[in-house]
Structure 1
Amino acid sequence: MTAHVPPAALAAQVPDVSPNTLVLAVDEMHCGACLRSVERAALRVPGVISARASLAAKRVTVTYDPGRASEVDVIAALDRIGFTAAPIETAKQDRGDARQKYLLRRVAVAGFAAMNIMLLSIAVWSGEGGDMDPALAGLFRWLSALIALPTVVYAGQPFFTSAVAALKGHRLNMDVPISLAIILATGMSLYQTMLGNEQVYFDAAVTLLFFLLVGRYLDESLRVRARGEAQNLLSLQGGVATVIDADGTRRKVAAHALRPGDRLLVAAGERVAADGVVSAGKGQVDRVFITGETAPATVAAGTQVYAGTLNLTQALEIEVTAADTATLLAEISRLMMAAEQGKARYRRLADRAAQIYAPAVHGLGLATFLGWLAFGAGWQTALTYAIAVLIITCPCALALAVPAVQIAAASRLFRRGIMVKAPDGLERIAEIDMVVFDKTGTLTLGKPQLIDNEAVSDDLLARAAALAAASRHPSRGPWSRARSSGSARSCPLRDVAETPGEGLAIMTPHGEARLGSAAWCGAEGEESEGAEVWYRQGDGRPVRFRFVDTMRPDAAETVAALKRQASRWRCSRVTGPPRRAAARDAGIETWHAELKPAGKIAWLEARADEGHKVLMAGDGLNDAPALAAAHASISPATAADLSQRAADFVFQGAKLAPVAEAIGTGKRAHAMAIQNFGVAGVYNIICVPLAMAGFVTPLIAAIVMSSSSILVTLNAARLAGRGRS
């Protein structure tokens, strides 16, 4: 029983996939208009409670009442508006690769055609006013048409099919004005060629296609890499496991069919198919994706192992504790996807801007055409300027400004062992100017060793250990290690009440037994001797247990790096000489003593009132409210469940460096999002008036518009960098 913690409020921060939640892959989503159409179509299905689409992940998460709606109903609703959807579990893992190859083939064709048409166009331009025979110039224009027409039909398919699907669904997206501009430019050029006129823009149409396809290919590559990392994780779980039945027979079973209690045989060179505990055997395993450590870990009977762990040496027997979607591996993958499902502040801003801007493109094109006609220009000239406006006003750069950065940042952090849980976590961590560390389990490894168990009886140690086993705090670990190494044995107790920041209590025939702080156990007057836990049975005398914990190996180095990044840093929950020494060893000048959950929240609120934006790093059950209250928060992967739910980021491994990495990446992502907004804004402010005034030809419009989109994508790709997988 847990007191003082609002689990519902904390759990709401991370969406969990439940039996009435459907996740669909929708590859045809290309822009904010597509995203909104998918969400609206799903919400119109009777029984659908919510629908949330992610343009970055190209998937939609639908929550529905299974009594009123079904998976088939949702898929059919999306199909009616032109979107093909497939359950994420059954979607082919190579769909992204197929899409990349699809785009790459069209990039190659459009690039080859653009170069050849440009050579013909240059020949015609250089011969104008000179001695080029008009018949030869006409032949070159016909050759350009013969190259351009099949190229437009083939290479333009990604845009044409998307535009047709949008129009069938009675909506607009960014591919509609693009397709309109390409068709108008090609059609008008063919008409002018048939009449023998000189104003043809085959080069503009094909060059526009080439640059747009390059930008879309780069964007798709970034998305595929980000999605692939989560899918690659799940592939580590393997498809088949060897199960040992009660009679000793062995059989092959699909990994998703495993159940808690099953016994697995994992041979050397195989991966563990489920979470479990080693029941027989001893050997070494590779668990780099869990701990971040490349050195093999030794496991034996009683050791916890996780799905995806590679057995390096001897065969092991493992008793399954969690399988299929309940494994740590599946949880990590869900955490990655959860970060993509929500919409951060800048991303919502970009979506709203694109929503308003896309329909305005057609209005600006029509206004340009009618305006030039009103000023006495010929229809060919007016149409040429309108085509240039349609091309140059496409909000591609604006739509890509934030999603591209978020994908690159999340991908970078994942390769460094950090999972982004909150949709706006990157934005909030970029704003922090103060960091607060919990000591045990955050600055330290959270694996304290009981150092004076010889001074107490085995019976007393067993009773204290049984009470500690009911806690979800990492400090329960040393109790189990102490009693397993000695003669004491205990069984976990039920109906234990845990008070965050204080301790545990249970009623026994001999009175109330308490385990926790000195005040909790009635030992306020005792002098603190460092890391300690007290135990008291009924009216008996409180007994002290002393512990020693190990600092994370890079704590001081990480704090020094943090000081170079921001202005002030603090450490919470340090008290007494040993704890003061821990703060000093880590390079932290300011510390606070014995703060309870309410005290931590009050301290964070006081800092917020002063204008500070605080990052909280903690791992215990009593840290969960503070993690939820902080401006941004991060927890190690070993943290209690509620702490992980409340945190915006979860990091793996024994080192503290991921805290600095998360802050640094967040700040760089923030800067790049602003840069991308700037590129999109400056481009539109300068180029749209020039196009409407007739100073930009369709060819120049194609080059400038495509270049802005490619620049935004390449700028975001710089953030992904290189890191461990």
Structure 2
Amino acid sequence: MGALDPIRLSDTAATGCPSGLQNIPVAQIDPLSVQLDLTPYVQSTEEGHQRIDLIVQGAHCGGCLTKIERGVGAIASVKTARMNLSTLRLRVEWTGDKSQASVIAQTLSKLGFGAAPYDITQSDDGREAESKALLRAMAVAGFAAMNVMLLSIAVWSGGTDMGPQTHTLLHWISAAIALPTVAYAGRPFFRSAWAALKNKRTNMDVPISLAILLACSLSVYETVKGNPDTYFDAAVMLLFLLLIGRFLDARLRLRTGEAARRLAAMQVTSATRLLDTGVIETVPARDIHPGDRLLIPAGQRIAVDCIIESGQSDIDMQIATGETKLQSFGPGDTLYSGTTNLGAPLTVRAIAKHSDSFLSEITALVEAGEQNKSRFVRIADKAARAYVPVVHSVAALTFIGWMIVGGDLRVAALNAIAVLIITCPCALGLAVPAVQIVAAGRLFKAGVLVKSGDALERLAKTKTVIFDKTGTLTTGQFNLLNAADNAPTDLAIAAALAKQSTHPLARALHAYASDLDVKDVVDIAGQGLSAKVSGHTVRFGSAKLVGEAAEPAARHSSVWLKIDDRPAQCLAFTDMARADAADTIAALQDQGLRVEMLSGDAAAVVKDVADELGLSRAKGGVSPKQKMQIIQTRGIEGRYPLMVGDGINDAPALAAGYSSASLASAADVSRSAADIILQGDRLSSLPVAIDIARAAQRRVVENLTLAVGYNFIAIPLAVLGFVNPLIAAVAMSGSSLIVTLNALRLHRNNHSVFEAEGVS
């Protein structure tokens, strides 16, 4: 076993989350207790290294990610340690034997984190529970806030007509509601603040917790003394507003790993293995090794990368290339995991393990792209970094100053609490969400769904838009080009036979079908169909099937039709561009954006579509990994690329893009990986989305400026004793109202944009 490097590990020695967000002891969250044998979960790589995937429990922030990667990387034999914060997956690769896995588990435990063998279908269980707990706390705080505010209104409006005893009674009722509410609903903030303080750190939850606890303590004191003013309403309302933001953030973090989870669900969990003795057995896909012979029946997804030994069939390659046209494969051809056998049964030989096959690689690429996005620091987070030390310092100095000047503990405490309340980050916290809510509502009316909280900020920086071709700029559905060159009766015969097939080109002929009698249909693997149609002998498929020497050297997809002994006819098909594709590209270019197209289709086909749409930058024959690499290059160049795609093969590129968009009709995985979804399959809403994102970014900057300006005015008043906690609570609410009203201006300033798009 390798030894730990004490110097490097000391940099990360503080236990748990550096930001104090982990609030459960490691002993409770670590299901291993550092004793579970992990060797069965270790895999050997082609380079002779060992590798294991673990789910890390207790990781919450970028600080956790850095701490874990550095801590595990400090083990002498470890070559790489990479963590995905979206799915909580840690992949470690090392030299030596498999028993080194226990050292990794022990290291994680010493760092303050739990670990277990990675299962992507269960990796979000903890976050789902956290989200539900926050929702319950928010509901309790909201209910209590309504009731305490009603009691406060009664006190305020009672005036001289209400006696001191009645005032005190209403204050005690408020306390009976507020104090249990604060104890229950405030736990997420209190635990986080306490964990941060134990680690000799501070975070945003420390001043929040102080403000809530001190406001409640002061209110209890004022109630006991029979004084007229209490601040239970301020404490509970503050808690409710902050829980809303915390819940939305938790839901966002839960959703960030959705694309990777959907891809994992697509991976085949079992396969049929053919032993040398002739015995057929069903085995888990993870147990398949290179050299194993497998049987792939028609209709089954392929579990691992393999080479065909016998059989010929049509394969749906859309997941790998994006092409909707089925491709014929035979002995010696290579098939990739995730593709689907749609023709005849095949016997294949595995050339890679399940974890090293194509679909696993796609999953890894998506996770890597999602992790890069999770490193994005929102503008509000940047503004909040200076907030905590400033607020703590000002409140402490206020208390000390008033103790020196007047020596009255109650007055000093009142003014210090007023500083904490008046500077509570409601305006700062609402500055961004308020704009996002308004912008998301306007985008929804424009046919755009916003999926993540930081999507608009990233979308606003876009300088380059990169489109996939098939299913994005084109419809993904084929149309017959040369219908006029063929007799209607011939097309009816072809359509009658085509109804027996699910091939995309065959489906394009269904519109020409009639009630002709079809008999004796034979499916010739990899070539097409033959049958008797109303007494005619008909063959429909490849050039080889009808006796032609070769396929035509054309840029369009084609299929051959031969009726009886007549000369074969070539039917040409094309994937039509979307009706609004050209206008969308022109609109994006008018916004000063560079537009490109990347596709897995043949270069000649891609060039035709690019010429039709007025695109000067287009590239064909691009694999999913190459798409991702090109997008990463654009990011390095400072182009902030927006990727637009629809297929499973586009998911890595969508995850890697600085921002991303997908059509509503896209594959589930692509919709999950995208930041925004274009409803109604309309590309024309994309320029609108970018326009609104840019306007929203301006409103965010304005709101943050207003929030900071408010504090510059309010803090001196609170420090000098001109503001008590009640007025501080009102001022705090007023600042939140101001940033909300400013966010609503986004609707008015972008109204002309929506009118241009026909949106009310």
Equivalent residue, structure 2, for 1:110: 141
Equivalent residue, structure 2, for 1:36: 63
Amino acid at match of 1:562: I
Amino acid at match of 2:174: S
Equivalent residue, structure 1, for 2:28: none
Superposed displacement of residue 393, structure 1: 3.9
Q: Take 1:404 and 1:485, find their aligned partners in 2: how far apart are those partners?
A: 63
In structure 2, relative to structure 1, the CA distance for the partners of 1:80 and 1:174 (3 Å cut) is farther
Secondary structure in 2 matching 1:162: helix
Answering whether residue 160 of structure 2 is matched by residue 129 of structure 1, we say yes
Aligned residue pairs, count? 575
Equivalent residue, structure 2, for 1:684: 708
Q: Take 1:708 and 1:286, find their aligned partners in 2: how far apart are those partners?
A: 54
Superposed displacement of residue 400, structure 1: 9.2
Superposed displacement of residue 373, structure 1: 5.2
Identity, in percent, stands at 32
Equivalent residue, structure 1, for 2:612: 586
Equivalent residue, structure 1, for 2:495: none
Secondary structure in 1 matching 2:227: coil
Answering whether residue 577 of structure 2 is matched by residue 554 of structure 1, we say yes
Amino acid at match of 1:565: L
Superposed displacement of residue 159, structure 1: 1.3
Q: Is the 8 A contact 2:59 2:88 kept in 1?
A: no
Deviates more, 1:172-181 or 1:81-90: 81-90
Q: Take 1:282 and 1:72, find their aligned partners in 2: how far apart are those partners?
A: 46
1:545-591 deviation line (CA, Å, top 9, x unaligned): xxx99764226741321102222778899xxxx99994796142x85
Correspondence for 2:186 among 156, 179, 185: 156
Correspondence for 1:563 among 586, 607, 616: 586
Q: Is the 8 A contact 2:304 2:352 kept in 1?
A: yes
Amino acid at match of 2:710: I
In structure 2, relative to structure 1, the CA distance for the partners of 1:702 and 1:424 (3 Å cut) is closer
Matches within 5 A, 1:389-400: 389-391=419-421, 393=423
Q: Take 2:653 and 2:226, find their aligned partners in 1: how far apart are those partners?
A: 74
Equivalent residue, structure 2, for 1:263: 294
Secondary structure in 2 matching 1:159: helix
Secondary structure in 2 matching 1:553: strand
Q: Take 1:58 and 1:235, find their aligned partners in 2: how far apart are those partners?
A: 14
Superposed displacement of residue 676, structure 1: 3.4
Amino acid at match of 1:432: K
Deviates more, 1:635-644 or 1:86-95: 635-644
Amino acid at match of 2:576: P
Equivalent residue, structure 2, for 1:458: none
Q: Is the 8 A contact 1:52 1:61 kept in 2?
A: yes
Answering whether residue 353 of structure 2 is matched by residue 342 of structure 1, we say no
Q: Is the 8 A contact 1:243 1:262 kept in 2?
A: yes
Q: Is the 8 A contact 1:436 1:617 kept in 2?
A: no
Q: Take 2:92 and 2:430, find their aligned partners in 1: how far apart are those partners?
A: 27
In structure 2, relative to structure 1, the CA distance for the partners of 1:396 and 1:185 (3 Å cut) is closer
Equivalent residue, structure 1, for 2:127: 96
Amino acid at match of 2:577: D
In structure 2, relative to structure 1, the CA distance for the partners of 1:428 and 1:435 (3 Å cut) is same
In structure 2, relative to structure 1, the CA distance for the partners of 1:707 and 1:639 (3 Å cut) is same
In structure 2, relative to structure 1, the CA distance for the partners of 1:372 and 1:646 (3 Å cut) is closer
Correspondence for 1:224 among 232, 249, 254: 254
Q: Take 1:663 and 1:349, find their aligned partners in 2: how far apart are those partners?
A: 23
Matches within 5 A, 1:429-468: 430-432=461-463
Bigger relative contact order, structure 1 or 2 (CA pairs below 8 A, ≥6 apart): 1
Secondary structure in 1 matching 2:399: helix
Q: Take 2:81 and 2:429, find their aligned partners in 1: how far apart are those partners?
A: 21
Q: Take 2:88 and 2:734, find their aligned partners in 1: how far apart are those partners?
A: 31
Amino acid at match of 2:201: R
Q: Which runs of 5+ in 2 are unaligned?
A: 1-48, 479-525, 527-540, 557-570, 599-603, 671-677, 747-760
Q: Is the 8 A contact 1:21 1:62 kept in 2?
A: yes
Scaled by the length of structure 2, what TM-score is found? 0.57
Answering whether residue 198 of structure 2 is matched by residue 168 of structure 1, we say yes
Amino acid at match of 2:730: I
Q: Is the 8 A contact 1:212 1:706 kept in 2?
A: no
Q: Is the 8 A contact 1:27 1:84 kept in 2?
A: yes
Q: Is the 8 A contact 2:432 2:703 kept in 1?
A: no
Q: Take 1:383 and 1:59, find their aligned partners in 2: how far apart are those partners?
A: 43
Q: Is the 8 A contact 1:345 1:424 kept in 2?
A: no
Q: Is the 8 A contact 1:241 1:273 kept in 2?
A: yes
Amino acid at match of 2:156: W
Secondary structure in 1 matching 2:160: coil
Q: Take 1:643 and 1:135, find their aligned partners in 2: how far apart are those partners?
A: 68
Q: Is the 8 A contact 1:307 1:327 kept in 2?
A: yes
Q: Take 2:743 and 2:272, find their aligned partners in 1: how far apart are those partners?
A: 46
1:609-660 deviation line (CA, Å, top 9, x unaligned): xxxxxx7665448999977366348697799999999987798989998988
Secondary structure in 2 matching 1:251: strand
Amino acid at match of 2:215: A
Answering whether residue 260 of structure 2 is matched by residue 237 of structure 1, we say no
Secondary structure in 1 matching 2:283: strand
Q: Take 1:387 and 1:75, find their aligned partners in 2: how far apart are those partners?
A: 45
Secondary structure in 1 matching 2:213: helix
Q: Is the 8 A contact 2:432 2:700 kept in 1?
A: yes
Q: Is the 8 A contact 2:396 2:416 kept in 1?
A: yes
Amino acid at match of 1:558: A
In structure 2, relative to structure 1, the CA distance for the partners of 1:59 and 1:689 (3 Å cut) is farther
Q: Take 1:713 and 1:237, find their aligned partners in 2: how far apart are those partners?
A: 44
Q: Take 1:645 and 1:117, find their aligned partners in 2: how far apart are those partners?
A: 46
Q: Take 1:59 and 1:711, find their aligned partners in 2: how far apart are those partners?
A: 38
Superposed displacement of residue 693, structure 1: 1.5
In structure 2, relative to structure 1, the CA distance for the partners of 1:626 and 1:285 (3 Å cut) is closer
Equivalent residue, structure 2, for 1:545: none
In structure 2, relative to structure 1, the CA distance for the partners of 1:220 and 1:318 (3 Å cut) is farther
Q: Take 1:72 and 1:682, find their aligned partners in 2: how far apart are those partners?
A: 53
1:447-500 deviation line (CA, Å, top 9, x unaligned): 9xxxxxxxxxxxxxxxxxxxxxxxxxxxxxx9xx999879999xxxxxxxxxxx
In structure 2, relative to structure 1, the CA distance for the partners of 1:103 and 1:633 (3 Å cut) is closer
Secondary structure in 1 matching 2:576: coil
Matches within 5 A, 1:595-610: none
In structure 2, relative to structure 1, the CA distance for the partners of 1:398 and 1:230 (3 Å cut) is farther
RMSD over aligned CA atoms reads 6.4
In structure 2, relative to structure 1, the CA distance for the partners of 1:402 and 1:146 (3 Å cut) is closer
Q: Take 2:57 and 2:432, find their aligned partners in 1: how far apart are those partners?
A: 20
Secondary structure in 2 matching 1:566: helix
Q: Take 2:586 and 2:245, find their aligned partners in 1: how far apart are those partners?
A: 39
Q: Take 2:157 and 2:114, find their aligned partners in 1: how far apart are those partners?
A: 49
In structure 2, relative to structure 1, the CA distance for the partners of 1:397 and 1:290 (3 Å cut) is farther
Superposed displacement of residue 224, structure 1: 2.1
In structure 2, relative to structure 1, the CA distance for the partners of 1:41 and 1:651 (3 Å cut) is closer
Amino acid at match of 1:101: K
Amino acid at match of 1:99: E
Answering whether residue 241 of structure 2 is matched by residue 211 of structure 1, we say yes
In structure 2, relative to structure 1, the CA distance for the partners of 1:144 and 1:424 (3 Å cut) is closer
Superposed displacement of residue 108, structure 1: 2.0
Q: Take 1:362 and 1:316, find their aligned partners in 2: how far apart are those partners?
A: 71
Q: Is the 8 A contact 2:320 2:649 kept in 1?
A: no
Q: Is the 8 A contact 1:284 1:297 kept in 2?
A: yes
Scaled by the length of structure 1, what TM-score is found? 0.59
Amino acid at match of 1:387: I
Q: Is the 8 A contact 1:274 1:307 kept in 2?
A: yes
